[in-house]
């Protein structure tokens, strides 16, 4: 019995020694891992510090560039403003000397001329110019074909595009009257319902043809509404043309039956700004 006890006691120190050795190796491994982590943390901290320095440098650079850009932009704006002032002053002087300047190059609200009045004109080159009222071009560059203020209201509206007409008036008959005049005066528009007259009439338009033309311009409207619009368009064109256009009734014959139809007519001897009459 004592022999077994002695054997167990002899083996116990060896087990403790093995466990101690294993623990010692484990501690060394953990310490090695800890050292590696410490080195990794130090490396990350160095990287962080470098990034922080780089970020600070970039922020300083951005601030410098922003300040420089703002300075350049301010200088450019000041220069542009000064150039505009110089150009405006030169244009004002030239206008007062009688020059005709293209409208696209002139800020009509900036130039400083006597009474603040400018006149918009069209020359024989088809382009728009500004001048002081009634001032002839001292360089004699093209004849003035028509001043905008001399146009009839119907002609002024006819020169506008659809968007400008809508902005100028909400009345559909007025817009149609302007478009009808535009079709007459500008061959490029197309769909011109006007007919060439004879004897004492330059051109004319039947009320029935006007009704069909209205329906082509305003798709979707009914025949009855188009018929009502005919009278309103006629009234509008009479008013806007300052009665350069007249209404005449004529007896027509269709399918053996006679009926009276209204016609819009432009008399041969009527004076229309910018147009040549037959007598001329």
- pLDDT tens-digit profile of 244-268? 899 998 887 777 777 788 999 999 8
- Residue 210, pLDDT score: 94
Instruction: Kindly list the domain boundaries of the chain, sorted by start residue.
Output: 1-88, 101-147, 153-267
HSE-up of residue 250 (Cα within 13 Å, Cβ side): 14
The region that residue 167 occupies, defined by phi over 0 for left and psi between -120 and 50 for alpha, beta otherwise, is alpha
How far apart CA 266 and CA 250 sit, in angstroms, is: 15
CB 89 within 8 A of CB 118: no
Write down the mean pLDDT value for the chain. 81
User: What does the buried/exposed string (b/e) look like for 23-45 if buried means 16 or more CB atoms within 10 Å of the residue's CB?
Assistant: eeeeeeeeeeeeeeeeeeeeeee
Q: Which residues of the chain have pLDDT under 50?
A: 138-139, 144-146, 276-280
What 3-state DSSP class applies to 265?
A: strand
């Amino acid at each position: 019995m004592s022999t077994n006890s002695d054997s167990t006691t002899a083996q116990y120190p060896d087990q403790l020694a093995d466990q101690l050795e294993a623990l010692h190796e484990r501690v060394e491994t953990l310490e090695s891992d800890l050292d590696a982590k410490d080195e990794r943390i130090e490396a990350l901290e160095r990287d962080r510090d470098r990034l922080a320095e780089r970020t600070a440098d970039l922020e300083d650079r951005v601030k410098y560039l922003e300040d420089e850009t703002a300075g350049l932009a301010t200088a450019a704006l000041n220069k542009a403003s000064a150039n505009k002032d110089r150009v405006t002053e030169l244009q004002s002087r030239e206008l007062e000397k009688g020059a005709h300047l293209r409208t696209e190059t002139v800020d009509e609200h900036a130039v400083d001329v006597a009474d603040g009045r400018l006149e918009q004109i069209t020359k024989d080159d088809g382009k728009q110019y500004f001048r002081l009222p009634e001032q002839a071009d001292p360089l004699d560059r093209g004849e003035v074909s028509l001043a905008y203020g001399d146009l009839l209201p119907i002609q002024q509206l006819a020169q506008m595009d659809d968007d400008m007409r809508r902005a100028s008036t909400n009345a559909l008959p007025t817009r149609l009257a302007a478009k009808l005049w535009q079709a007459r005066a500008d061959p490029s528009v197309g769909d011109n319902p006007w007919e060439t007259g004879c004897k004492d009439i330059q051109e004319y338009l039947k009320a029935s043809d006007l009704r069909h033309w209205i329906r082509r311009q305003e798709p979707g409207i009914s025949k009855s509404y188009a018929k009502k619009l005919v009278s309103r368009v006629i009234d509008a064109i009479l008013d806007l043309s300052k009665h350069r256009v007249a209404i005449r009734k004529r007896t027509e014959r269709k399918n053996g039956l006679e009926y009276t139809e209204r016609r819009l007519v432009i008399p041969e001897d009527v004076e229309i700004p910018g147009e040549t009459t037959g007598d001329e």
